[in-house]
Structure 1
Amino acid sequence: MATANDDVFDEFLTDRGHDVEEPSWERDYNKKRCPDCEGLHDLDATACRVCGWEP
């Protein structure tokens, strides 16, 4: 659960160029792309077979 302190901290990081969003799969046509290693997977993938990343 987010608190006011989390919001202030997120704003602090964002102001300094940091990404505060949760990483998730990126889409590339009809495939999922791993945000860590850019590996392509089928849409039903739950973990990256290349680097092991999981959302």
Structure 2
Amino acid sequence: MATANDDIFDEFLTDRGHETETATWEQDYNKKRCPDCGGLHETSAVECSVCGWAP
């Protein structure tokens, strides 16, 4: 749950060019794509088998 402190911190980071959105899988046709390394996975994947990233 977000708090006022989280909002202030997110605003601080955003003002300085940083992303504050929660990372999630990207979609590439009928596959999931890792937002960190770009590795493609089946839609049932829960962790990137290339770099180990997990949402």
TM-score by length of 2: 0.91
Long gaps (5+) in structure 2: none
3-state SS of 1:32 partner: strand
The one-character-per-residue Cα deviations of 1:8-52 (angstroms, maximum 9, x if unpaired) are 110111111100111110000110000111000011111111111
Runs (4+) of structure 1 moved beyond 4 Å?
Answer: none
3-state SS of 2:20 partner: coil
3-state SS of 2:13 partner: helix
Long gaps (5+) in structure 1: none
How many residues are paired up?
Answer: 55
TM-score by length of 1: 0.91
